[in-house]
Amino acid sequence: MAYAKQILALAGIGDAPRLKKAFATVPRERFIGPPPWQISRPPLGYVTLPSTDPVVVYQDVLLALSPERGVNNGSPSLHAQWLHTLSPREGDRVVHIGAGTGYYTALLAHLVGESGHVLAVEYDPDLVEQAKKNLSEFPYVTVIQGDGADWPQEEADRIYVNFSVVRPADAWIGKLRSGGRLVLPLGVPRPKATARGGRHALHGAGFCFEREGERIHARWIGPAYFICAEGRLAGANDEAERLKDSFERGGVEFVRSLVRGPPAAPQRCWFVGAGWALSFDEAVG
């Protein structure tokens, strides 16, 4: 419980008993493999923890899952803030895109309860097998190997994305129920891999999108430097360059809505992509 209280305090979260219980219940060491464990320490890269006592992993640190690719079990305080923003309810249908070995999937499972369902999507087949084993105690969690751009294929109440993208996948917006929330990191990839392995975001921001009928409200959560998507979700080079320009101009914290189709007033947009935009104006429609 001390770990849970510390993480929520670092995230600036006050009264959140269900989230606190989830962090206190799920054993983090089960999801990171056997010791020796490695933590990410930019700009040094990865550093091996000298102890094999599981108590050492109950810190607000990134623990390596696949260090050669830069894939980590991310910062608990950041995820606490984002899960609090996502606000999954008991009975919700949640889709976790980029589930890794399933630690944050397990937290989601505790939050939705047995009356809910969590679909965990992971691209890496090795991580998928680990996640299936780690999450086997949850009959209401389904783990699949696949491209995150293809999911969900049915309507979802909450969608939680754990890798950086240049644009939201069409399915994430199209399958989000009215009243539903999508939390994701929007980001521009670095030109090359870092000492941590993989390509992480050069500029990045967490967003919460909430659907109200055809309106899509947007809220900036804070900076976010996740590992970047590959393939279709990486986005076109020209779109990434335009997004980079938008980050460097500033003002991301003032975005209020996501607009699909041609934006009515491009001059009122922080960013304009191919068929979508992030606007400073409140959502209409």
List Cβ neighbours of 35 (8 Å cut-off, separation of 6 or more): 49, 51, 52
Q: How far apart are CA 151 and CA 172, in angstroms?
A: 7
> What is the number of residues in the chain?
285
Element (H, E) at 127: helix 125-134
User: Catalytic residue positions?
Assistant: 51
* Geometric angle at alpha carbon 99, from 119 and 271, rounded to 5°: 95
**Rounded Cα distance, 237 and 207, in Å:** 21
CB 125 within 8 Å of CB 66: no
Q: Smallest Cα–Cα separation from 23: which of 81, 86, 72, 96?
A: 81
Residue 155 is encoded by which pair of tokens?
A: 């309507």
Tokens of 47: 């550093």
